[in-house]
Amino acid sequence: MDRIVENASRLTDILDRKRPKAFDCNVMGGELFCDEIDDKLFDDYRAFARVLNDYAKPRNIPFTINWVTNLVYSNNDRVISLVEELKEEMDCKITTSYDPTGRFNKSDLELWLKNLKVIGDLMGDISIVLTRPNIRAMLRDDDEVFKFLYKNYRLYVDYYSPEKNAELMAPSDTELLQIFYLLVDKYPKVGPINDWINRDQNSMTCRSSNIVLPSGETGKCRKLVDPVAYEDFKSPVTEDALQSNTNMEHTFLTDHSCITCEYFQRCGLGCYLHSDYTKRVELHDCVFKITFDYITKGIKHDIRTLEQA
């Protein structure tokens, strides 16, 4: 328990420095709720959440705790009890992810869908990470589970953050454009596509999240990158860069001429870490600008022509 509550205190130290007007806290494992975990750990989860609430409430800072789970476990009662109890005190949700390929065997998928139903209104967003395998599966447009989720839940597609096997998992710009076209045409309620279509101004996709590792170490997203892979990124990964995304942001804005782009206010600018990874194939033109040309002007570029440019 000490380590978990200590990490909550590290978060409040970060909040003291950053002074946000609001914040989200995404709590993830391992698997937070796996059946092998002792019930006592759930008391630690409660204590962690209450440290944040005791910090935020007197300062009138709205915040949400998202308990991130793979949703493959059998003991639902203690999970529901945790979230329902905390919801009486603070904004609290369960979030999960779905992978169209490679993750679920038949029994795990059945359990995942069963738990999704049991969790009910406590479920927040369901994310789909845009890995190359996931995109290729989605482009077939024959996934009945995805279609069910689209009709009944809030879906959000998220960018892949390069990690182990990144050369196999990181999508090319062409693959990103293909899936953006499909989502705009057939699944426009999926976030952030919905905002791209309906809003003239959007927040940045990159939240410049602060990460607190189980060890207590803190930093930005590059803190999760294996040092062996630092050379695979455009922007130098220095000690300062582990605590700030500034050089990645500058690289992205410069490479894509964002400041002069007509869609600058509308574009979320993607994930800087994803875009900074060098071992993925990029188009000459910005994939986001091409997508917004389609959304706002109906201009659907021939992808083969873009690849040859």
Residues 6+ apart with CB under 8 A from 230: 237
Percent with pLDDT over 70 in the chain: 98
Helix-helix angle 287-297:173-186, to 10 degrees: 20
Mean pLDDT score of the chain: 93
Mean pLDDT of the 200-205 span:
89
CB under 8 Å, gap of 24 or more: what pairs does 246-253 form? 248/222, 248/272, 248/273, 248/275, 248/276, 249/206, 251/276, 252/276
Query: pTM of the entire structure?
Result: 0.92
Mean pLDDT of the 65-93 span:
96
Please write the tens of the pLDDT for every residue from 16-75. Answer: 998 999 999 999 988 999 999 999 999 999 999 999 999 999 999 999 999 999 999 999
Mean pLDDT of the 91-100 span:
96
CA distance 55 to 11: 10
2 pLDDT exceeds 70? no
Would you kindly state where each structural domain of the chain is located, as residue ranges? 1-97, 104-309
* CATH dotted code for 1-97: 3.40.50
SS3 of 229-286: the string is HHHHECCCCCCHHHCCCHHHHHHHHHHCCHHHCCCCCCCCCCCHHHHHECCCCCCCCC
Q: For the chain, how far is it from start to end, CA to CA, in angstroms?
A: 56
* Residue 309 confidence (pLDDT): 56
* Residue 301 confidence (pLDDT): 83
Task: Name the pLDDT band for 206 (thresholds 50, 70, 90).
Answer: confident
Please write the tens of the pLDDT for every residue from 142-188. Answer: 999 999 999 999 999 999 999 888 999 999 999 999 999 999 999 99
